[in-house]
Amino acid sequence: MITTGGTFIFIKLVKGEAPRYATSAEFSLRNPGNDLYRVLSILKRLSS
């Protein structure tokens, strides 16, 4: 996870013949929909 405090981006390893990294969409707390709940659900899933 990369964060500036107001925005969050998740990085994941994509397995394959040649492993590579991929990034998620940018989640922002300043969006009208407030992405905080989506970020928290991702963190909860990672902690399981």
Res 34: pLDDT: 77
Q: Indicate the domain borders of the chain.
A: 2-47
What is the structure's pLDDT at 32? Answer: 75
pLDDT of residue 38: 87
| Tens-place pLDDT, residues 19-39 | 999 999 999 888 777 788 888
CB 13 within 8 A of CB 19: yes
Question: What does residue 37 show for φ and ψ, rounded to 5 degrees?
Answer: -65, -35
φ/ψ bin of 5: left (φ > 0), alpha (ψ from -120 to 50), beta (otherwise): left
